[in-house]
Amino acid sequence: MMTESTNITHEEVVDKKKIEVYTKLKNIKVGDCKWTTGFWADKFKVCEDIMVPYMGNVLCGDVGHALNNFKIAAGEKEGEHQGMYWHDGDFYKFLEAMVYVYAHNKDEKLLEELDSHIEIIGKAQEEDGYLQTQIQLREDADRYENRKYHEMYNTGHLLLTACTHYTITGKRNFLDIAVKHADLLYTIFMPETKHFGRFGFNQTQIMGLVKLYRTVGERKYLELAERFINNRGKYEVEHHSTTEGYPIGDMVQERTALRDATEPVGHAVLALYYYAGATDLYAETGEQALIDALDRLWESVTNKKMYVTGAVGQTHYGASKNRDMIEEGFIDDYMMPNMTAYNETCANLCNAMFSYRMLGVKAESKYADIIELVMYNSALSGISLSGTEYFYANPLRMVNDTRDYEAHADVTETPERKPYLHCFCCPPNLVRTIARVSEWAYNLSENGLAVNLFGSSVLETKLLDGSAIKVTQETNYPWEGVIHLTINECKEESFDIMLRIPGWASEATVLINGEKPDVNIIPGEYAILHGKWNQGDIITLEVPMETHFVEGHPRIEEVRNQVAIKRGPVVYCIESPDLPKDTSILDVYINGKIPLEIEHKPDFLGGVTTVSGELLLRSTNKNAMYSTVSAPKWESYKTKFVPYFSWSNRGQAEMTVFMPVVW
């Protein structure tokens, strides 16, 4: 039986009582919440008008070559596979972004373009359901021979995109491809075999299989998802044919069973996609051991290995505690380098994706705090304000001439954004997230509505009892802290509105029609507003947007005696365009005695609020490893700090988030 939604409001597929036990907040449908004006409306407009079309030109042409790979596999074009092994997945994510945009604007041209791409993908698929152009177009590799070819990663994004496409369009053309492919996967990987037991590692297929289960109601897909979870940590970690050419152990989450894990290890994206899939599985099974492990892992990620920007994945190359080689991943607790911080855009987004799933099963606002932190900082830093250049890595400090950026063939570390990255996983991941973030703004609770994210918007949806609700949100957040929610339509019976009070909002106030309700307003929790609501009722949340200095945990050696600037959810940085000529970021100290001032600049960097303060500059000896020092001679310089997400939009620049402070 088909459902109308891939959200967890799928009573036709799974017993309703079971869902109510394992998930506390349910997803709204994509398109039910639309941004109207302000920050996220502007970002969505750029996504719709520039990001998606530009990416289409790249991936459907000879630069990105992704569509060409499918055309060659379909017999419509001559040539060889180009791009990384996971390039099929990049293309699926781009299609998913198109689908999300279509959900909002219903542009038939988008639907026609999607159909043309899906037709080619269908022709590329082999008779038994196999679909991996990086293997189909090679003579030196066989199916599921080696996990380095990223077949599971591509599979996951195929399933996720196809299910989303069906949910939003009602068309089966892509879903049928996904079902055929998943059926083949089940026949190969469901049986207990050592060869395939260690195979999956970048495991988006877990999320994809659970979503497919939710979409078509076929339980075997859920069982296969659980098989992939159960296989990790089950087999002895040693090199064999499926692991040749790629690190083993912690890097790919296989040394420790998930249910026994106490901290995140290895590749940050591999880990967080895995945790997100496991959270999806918990939402269907309610297994206590799973959620206990996920609780531990989430706390470890956010409290011991996460940057002030919400970014994760501290290093490009390193080693785990088990001496396993790791790349682009987690290292020791509180080891947080600034200049060499890797913080892959995909990893930052995965941090938000994991938190969104945990929000659904736990209904605790701390998860929405992380989503907000990521989206305003380490997510948006991955793309230029124009929407056409990208960062793969997102360090917290950039200093000129510190490394050979051309040494990496995939150009994942660059001093400025690039119009195309050979390793193209991050750009479509970010664009599809920008296209869908309005879906995260609200959830459906057992007895009402949860307000998670703030931005001017209109929500038209149905509560879990089927009653219609329409809410208008008006705000200039994140630059201003006043949010008005107007009830335009609702049922006559009483219900809850769960209003998130950000964890950083120490003096938040809530009014209902101008009067204070008898409700506890606690930072980092939802304020539960219960009662009978009427058309025209206005809820006002006011969060003081104070500017703060932020310091790191005492064990973070890299930021001892340094501070960052944060205002509301937005983290700030200083860039070399705002310093005297020929002044390095390394010469910058901030005067902690001088109050910080704010100014909104609608015509600067796309319209941002800047923070002004006083810097103290001193020259240092950059030619000697160590040098004697006497009392410094300070030069005072008043300047502005800009939102971290907006840096590197005024040409190549040095930048730092943390600065040494003089009190």
Give tens-digit pLDDT for 297-311: 999 999 999 999 999
Domain boundary among 500, 516, 542: 542
Among candidate residues 330, 338, 347, the one with its CA nearest the CA of residue 391: 347
Backbone angles phi, psi at 314, to 5 degrees: -70, -20
473 & 436 share domain: no
d(CA 297, CA 275): 8
Residue 10: pLDDT above 50? no
For residue 236, the model assigns a pLDDT of: 87
Q: Does 5 fall in a domain?
A: no
Within a domain: 82: yes
User: Measured between alpha carbons, how far is 13 from 101 in angstroms, rounded to an integer?
Assistant: 27
From residue 526, alpha-carbon distances to 175, 470, 529 in Å are 37, 20, 9
Looking at the fold, whether 157 and 285 belong to one and the same domain comes out as: yes
pLDDT of residue 408: 67
Domain boundary pick from 486, 510, 542? 542
528 exposed, middle or buried (CB, 10 Å; 0-12, 13-18, 19+)? middle
d(CA 277, CA 210): 8
Q: Please give the average per-residue pLDDT across 450-459, as a whole number.
A: 98
Radius of gyration of the chain, Cα coordinates, nearest whole angstrom: 25
Q: Determine, yes or no, domain membership for 130.
A: yes
Using CA atoms, how far residue 359 sits from 364, 366, 441, 445, in Å, is 6, 8, 12, 11
Provide the 10 A C-beta neighbour count for residue 593: 9
Helix 268-285, helix 204-216: angle, nearest 10? 30
Residues 430, 477, single domain; the answer is no
CA angle 210, 272, 48 (to 5 degrees): 75
Residues 141 and 280 in one domain: yes
Whether 286 and 390 share a structural domain: yes
pLDDT at 2 over 50: no
What's the whole-number average pLDDT of the chain? 94
- Please name the residues in contact with 269: beta carbons below 8 A apart, sequence gap of 6 or more: 202, 313, 328, 344, 346, 347, 350, 425
- Determine, yes or no, domain membership for 242: no
108 lies in which domain range? Answer: 16-235+256-440
Co-location of 88 and 117 in the same domain: yes
Whether the predicted pLDDT of 15 surpasses 70: no
The total number of structural domains in the chain stands at: 3
411 within a domain of the structure (yes/no): yes
Last residue of a domain, one of 406, 440, 474: 440
Domain shared by 330 and 470, yes or no: no
Residues 38 and 89 in one domain: yes
**Per-residue model confidence (pLDDT) at position 259:** 97
pTM of the model: 0.95
Tell me: pLDDT of 402 over 90: no
User: Does 42 share its domain with 127?
Assistant: yes
Domain with residue 516: its CATH number is 2.60.420
- Reduced to 3 states (helix: H, G, I; strand: E, B; else coil), residue 475 is strand
Report the candidate in 341, 281, 386 with the shortest Cα–Cα distance to residue 49.
Answer: 386
Q: Are strands 448-451 and 495-501 parallel, antiparallel or unpaired?
A: parallel
Model confidence pLDDT, tens digit, residues 20-46:
469 999 999 999 999 999 999 999 999
**Whether residues 472 and 560 fall in one domain:** no
Structure tokens at 104: 């909002």
- How far is C-alpha 87 from the chain's CA centre? 19
**What's the CATH code of the domain at 288?**
1.50.10.10
* Structural domain contains residue 2: no
Determine the pLDDT at residue 1. Answer: 27
609-626 tens-digit pLDDT: 999 999 999 888 888 999
Same domain, 497 and 644: no
Residue 312 near residue 305, CB atoms below 8 Å: yes
- Residue 380's identity, in one-letter code, is L
Instruction: With respect to residue 147, please indicate whether it lies within any of the assigned structural domains.
Output: yes
Query: 313 lies in a domain?
Result: yes
pLDDT(201) > 80: no
Whether residue 226 sits in one domain with residue 122: yes
